[in-house]
Amino acid sequence: SQQGEEDPQALSIQEGENATMNCSYKTSINNLQWYRQNSGRGLVHLILIRSNEREKHSGRLRVTLDTSKKSSSLLITASRAADTASYFCATDAQGGSEKLVFGKGTKLTVNP
Amino acid sequence: DSGVTQTPKHLITATGQRVTLRCSPRSGDLSVYWYQQSLDQGLQFLIQYYNGEERAKGNILERFSAQQFPDLHSELNLSSLELGDSALYFCASNPLGGRYNEQFFGPGTRLTVL
C-alpha cells in the first residue's frame, strides 16, 4: 500500500517557472527521499532528507520536511524542459525496515 | 547511469509461462531490492536480499520468487504468469540498507503478458 501521496498528480508549467510538489505520508519515518523517473525508465535519486532535518538544498532543488504534519515538499526552481518527468517521494519506516514505500507520483511537464 | 544493470529490457510472453529477470547490483553493494511498477498499483516493494539472504518481503505473490547468488547478482522468477503481471520490474541496490537508505535503481525490465 502507498505510504506517500503526492500532490498534485499532474503539473504543467512554463520554462523558467518554479514547480512545487507535495508529499504526505502516514507513519513515522527515518528519512524521506525524492526520485525522478523519465517516461518508462529507471528512477533517479534526487535528494534525501533525514527526519531530524527541516530543509535541504541540492542545486535547483529544495526539499522541506515537516514531521509534525507528515509532509514534504519538493521545489524545483527555474525549471527547464529537461525537468519534464514524474517525481516520486519515498519513505522508509522507523523500526529498521529498509524497503521504500513510494507515492503515486507527480507528473511534471515543463513547456518550452 | 546508476551502475545497476537489468536484463532483459523487454520481455513478451504468454499467460501461464515462467520468466526470469536478472539484476546485477552496483559494484560492492550487498543489498538488492525488487520493485514492481504497474499503472494501477504504482511502485510496490516486492523483496530484498542482503548478501545472499532474504531480508525483507513485501507484496510478493507466491508465484514469484527471488534469490541472490554468491556473486551478488539477483534473479526474480515469475511463474504461472497472468495478464495482471504485466508491469515494469525494477531492481535497486545499495551497500547496506541502514538508516539512510538511498537506493540506486536499474533501468527496469518491461514485462508484457499476452
Residue A103: its chain B contacts at CB < 8 A?
Answer: 42
- Closest in A31, A43, A101 to B105, CB measured: A43
pLDDT in single tens digits along all 114 residues of chain B: 889 999 999 999 999 999 999 999 999 899 999 999 998 888 999 999 999 999 989 989 999 999 999 999 999 999 999 999 999 999 999 987 555 678 899 999 999 999
Any CB–CB contact under 8 A between B98 and chain A? Answer: yes
Classify each residue of B42-53 as buried b or exposed e, where b means 16 or more C-beta atoms within 10 Å of its C-beta: bbbbbbbbbeee
Any CB–CB contact under 8 A between B10 and chain A? Answer: no
C-alpha dist (Å) from residue B14 to A32, B19, B75, B80, B86: 38, 10, 20, 9, 10
Grid cell, residue B4, equals: 545497476
Dihedral angle sign, alpha carbons of residues A26, A33, B108, B57: negative
Q: Write the pLDDT tens digit of every residue in A76-112.
A: 999 999 999 999 999 986 666 678 889 889 999 999 9
